[in-house]
Each structure stands twice: as structure tokens, then as C-alpha cells.
């Protein structure tokens, strides 16, 4: 089943709803010329001070301003935060001071969340209409382009790298497997419709959702389809894998648990009434699945049974994907807030108000949680302790992660 038709609002346009016409695949071009700006560009730190030394949990310790919304989810590696913006840049920012180290100019808005592996940043980009339909490989230290691969439509999906191969979906309706070193195409597979879900790789299998309403499993080496699991509406949510089970949300308002080997449904959890259901990507920690939904609620569900553990209502839609650190769940909401919720009970520990909708999925690293906002700001917020994200989404390096 494809995406909804008819008129859509600004937030749905930002999320990229709607169908797509399949286009022919373009090739990969290696480029040594840098398409980056120097650190003296438009982006700027607004929190480069020593607040982190004395900050209490929930206090802002660092901020960085881009030129437009930050819907991308941050990745933290070697003391640097990498995050994209709809201003058409990927930014590398000092994780402590908020100082810009470099910015890389793409040909379109960056909704994709970067992946950092072996000194290279991989990220997708693309305009709603026009050029910039590429996956980029960028030197993590200098911001210099190493290669780019052009697809038939914009790349909102976030790439995943496993065993020397980059996997990414495109709105042209295809899943690509590319050599991480060169960008050379290894294989391509059809997803039946446009795709924005970010692939997850586990035990030699790539899992990804599609706007045709299905969750797909492909052989990671050759691209052969292993199974297809159909839901009742389009799947923008990115799957996560834990204990041989794949968890994924659907716009049919359900969270699914599916056997990773066979594609058989294990259980289904229904969220509240909403237009577009579950587009947040789940994470699993300590036997519980955490996910947001269009019903403005953060849901905690028993990973084994699918029974509700708790549910906490926010002030608006939750498409941000939760992360868990030191017993606390962190997640953003379109009400403009970052929420810190007790993992066991869902009790609110604190909230941070921003001046824009929070699409971005937070990542916690060494006592700080990082998240972007529609107010064009990247925030670093103190945790109660020195913990880092520990959940299946971050361990699978999907939608923001830790480490190189």
C-alpha cells in the first residue's frame, strides 16, 4: 500500500510523504574536489563556554546554530558531532564547545543522519524538487568529499555500513549496496515503492521498510530477497533487530515484532488514533521496546509479549526515535520539547523546550544528549551521569550512533 494522497501540510512535506515515480539509476562519481566551506561559515556556536563543568541534568551545555532546520539525527564520534540541516550542509561540530570544525555543502537538504566508519562520514541528501539525489562519502577530519553516488531521487534514508558495504534506500524505490571505499555499486534491489526507511544489518541480512507497506529482508552479500512482510500502510519507520526479532512501526498505527529469519509476525501492538501511525523508529533496551507515534505518545512495550508497559503523552506528534541511557529514555516531540522519561515508569524527569519541532532523534554520549530542532539549533544537554546511548537503534548504528 502506498502513501496517502491529497493535500498535505508543511510537516508532512518536511517528512516527505507521497508517491514517487521510479527513475533510472545513475552511476557513481569519485570526486576529490572539496564541496565544503571553511569553519568560518554561517553556522556558529552559541554555547561555547564552561557550562558543562557545573551543569545539572537537563541544562543546556552546548548549542550550535545552522541556517535552517536540523531534522537529521546526530552521530557522535571522536569528540565531534556530525549532523545535517535543511540548509544543504552537513556539519562537524566540537562536542564540548559547539565550535564548527567544518561544513560540507551538498546539493540539497540533509534529512539523512550521518554514519561514521573508519574516518569517513556517509550521508544522503536531496531537494524536494531538483538536484542533489546523492549519497556522499566525506573525510571525517577535513570535510573533503571522497565520492558521491547519485540515485534516481532524493536520499532521506540514513546509510548503514557493515563489512565494507554501505546500504541506503532512496525515494526512487530502490535499496543500494555500495563499496564503502569507492562508492561502486555492488547490487541494487527493488522496494516496490518510494523508500525513506533506514536499513539495519544483522547476521548477514539487510532489513528496510517501504512505502508499499512492507518490511523487506535481503541477503546482505548478493541482494537476494529473503522475505517480505506486509503491513496495512506505508513503512517509513526504520527497523531494529534484537534477539532474532525485527521491530518496526507502520503508518497503520501498529508496532510489529517479526521473526528475523522467517518474516512471520510474532505480535502487533496498536497505538492510538492518528493519521500516520508509527513513523518513529523503535529501540530495544532491557527487554522493552520504546517508540513514538503520531498519537503524540511515547510507548514502552514488552519486547517478548507486545504488552504495554507504559505510555506517556506529549503535546504533539512523536516521530523522533527514542534513545536510552542510564535508565532514562530521551525523545523529541513536535511540541518543541526534548523529554527525559524514567525507563521503568515513564515518569517525566525533565523536559527541554526549544523553539521548533523536534524531528531529530537524540544520541547520548559521555554524559551529554545531543538533538537537533526545527529552530535550526543543535543542542547538547547534560545527563544525570556520564552515560551514553545503550539501545538496539544506536548499537545497530541506525539514525545516529556513537563511535567511529
Give the model confidence (pLDDT) of 346-403 as tens digits.
999 999 999 999 999 999 999 999 999 999 999 999 998 888 988 777 777 776 667 6
Phi, then psi, of 88 in degrees rounded to 5: 90, 20
Question: Is there a domain that residue 281 lies in?
Answer: yes
Give the model confidence (pLDDT) of 230-270 as tens digits.
999 999 999 999 999 999 999 999 999 999 999 999 999 99
Grid cell digits, residue 59: 541544562
Strands 205-209 and 200-202: antiparallel
Query: Which pLDDT value is given to residue 54?
Result: 75
Give the model confidence (pLDDT) of 298-314 as tens digits.
999 999 999 999 999 99
CA distance 320 to 332: 5
Which is nearest to 156 in space by CA: 76, 211, 117?
A: 211
The answer to whether the CB of 278 falls within 8 A of the CB of 249 is yes
Question: Is there a domain that residue 401 lies in?
Answer: no
Grid cell digits, residue 1: 500500500
Give the model confidence (pLDDT) of 78-108 as tens digits.
999 999 999 999 999 999 999 999 999 997 9
Place of cell 530542532: 373
CA distance 44 to 322: 27
Question: Is there a domain that residue 403 lies in?
Answer: no
Question: Is there a domain that residue 3 lies in?
Answer: no
Report CA-CA distances (Å) from 179 to 61, 197, 255, 374: 38, 20, 33, 33
Query: Which pLDDT value is given to residue 24?
Result: 25
Which is nearest to 197 in space by CA: 332, 356, 16, 24?
A: 16
Strand partners, 255: 249, 269
Q: How far is CA 251 from the centre of its chain?
A: 17
- What is the number of structural domains in the chain? 1
Query: Which pLDDT value is given to residue 296?
Result: 97
Q: What is the CATH number of the domain that holds 377?
A: 2.130.10.10
Report CA-CA distances (Å) from 295 to 263, 276, 316: 27, 9, 8
Is 78 exposed, middle or buried (CB count within 10 Å of its CB: 0-12, 13-18, 19+)?
Answer: exposed
Grid cell digits, residue 6: 491529497
Question: Is there a domain that residue 311 lies in?
Answer: yes
Grid cell digits, residue 75: 552521530
Question: Is there a domain that residue 404 lies in?
Answer: no
Question: Is there a domain that residue 400 lies in?
Answer: no
Domain that holds residue 228: 10-395
Question: Is there a domain that residue 342 lies in?
Answer: yes
HEC letters along 237-274: CCCEEECCEEEEEECCCEEEEEECCCCCEEEEEECCCC
Q: How many CB atoms lie within 10 A of CB 243?
A: 10
Question: What is the average per-residue pLDDT within 284-299?
Answer: 97
Amino acid at each position: 500500500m502506498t502513501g496517502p494522497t491529497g493535500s498535505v501540510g508543511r510537516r508532512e512535506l518536511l517528512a516527505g510523504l507521497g508517491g514517487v515515480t521510479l527513475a533510472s539509476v545513475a552511476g557513481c562519481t569519485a570526486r576529490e574536489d572539496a564541496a565544503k566551506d571553511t569553519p568560518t561559515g554561517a553556522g556558529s556556536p552559541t554555547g561555547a563556554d564552561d557550562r558543562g563543568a557545573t551543569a545539572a541534568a537537563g541544562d543546556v551545555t552546548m548549542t550550535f546554530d545552522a541556517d535552517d532546520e536540523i531534522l537529521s539525527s546526530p552521530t557522535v564520534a571522536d569528540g565531534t558531532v556530525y549532523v545535517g540541516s535543511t540548509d544543504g550542509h552537513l556539519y562537524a561540530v566540537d562536542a564540548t564547545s559547539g565550535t564548527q570544525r567544518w561544513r560540507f555543502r551538498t546539493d540539497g537538504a540533509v534529512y539523512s543522519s550521518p554514519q561514521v566508519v573508519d574516518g569517513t562520514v556517509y550521508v544522503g541528501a536531496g531537494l524536494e524538487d531538483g538536484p542533489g539525489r546523492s549519497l556522499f562519502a566525506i573525510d571525517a577530519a577535513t570535510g573533503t568529499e571522497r565520492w558521491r553516488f547519485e540515485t534516481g531521487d532524493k536520499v532521506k534514508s540514513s546509510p548503514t555500513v557493515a563489512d565494507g558495504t554501505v546500504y541506503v534506500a532512496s525515494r526512487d524505490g530502490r535499496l543500494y549496496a555500495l563499496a564503502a571505499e569507492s562508492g561502486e555499486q555492488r547490487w541494487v534491489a527493488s522496494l516496490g515503492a518510494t523508500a525513506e526507511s533506514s536499513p539495519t544489518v544483522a547476521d548477514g541480512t539487510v532489513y528496510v521498510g517501504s512505502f508499499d507497506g512492507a518490511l523487506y529482508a535481503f541477503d546482505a552479500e548478493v541482494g537476494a530477497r529473503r522475505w517480505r512482510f506486509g503491513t496495512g500502510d506505508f513503512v517509513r519507520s526504520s527497523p531494529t533487530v534484537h534477539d532474532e526479532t525485527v521491530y518496526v512501526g507502520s503508518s497503520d498505527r501498529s508496532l510489529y515484532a517479526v521473526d528475523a529469519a522467517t518474516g512471520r509476525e510474532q505480535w502487533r501492538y496498536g497505538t492510538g488514533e492518528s493519521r500516520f501511525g508509527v513513523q518513529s523508529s523503535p529501540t530495544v533496551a532491557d527487554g522493552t521496546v520504546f517508540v513514538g507515534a503520531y498519537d503524540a505518545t511515547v510507548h514502552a512495550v514488552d519486547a517478548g509479549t507486545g504488552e504495554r508497559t507504559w505510555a506517556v503523552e506529549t503535546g504533539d506528534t512523536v516521530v523522533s526515535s527514542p534513545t536510552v541511557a542510564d535508565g532514562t529514555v530521551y525523545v523529541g516531540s513536535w511540541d518543541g520539547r526534548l523529554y527525559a522519561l524514567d525507563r521503568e515508569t515513564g515518569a517525566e524527569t525533565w523536559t527541554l523546550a526549544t523553539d521548533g519541532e523536534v524531528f531529530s532523534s537524540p544520541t547520548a554520549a559521555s554524559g551529554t544528549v545531543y538533538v537537533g530542532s526545527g529552530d535550526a539549533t543543535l543542542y547538547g544537554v547534560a545527563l544525570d551521569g556520564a552515560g551514553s546511548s545503550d539501545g538496539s537503534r544506536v548499537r545497530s548504528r541506525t539514525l545516529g550512533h556513537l563511535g567511529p
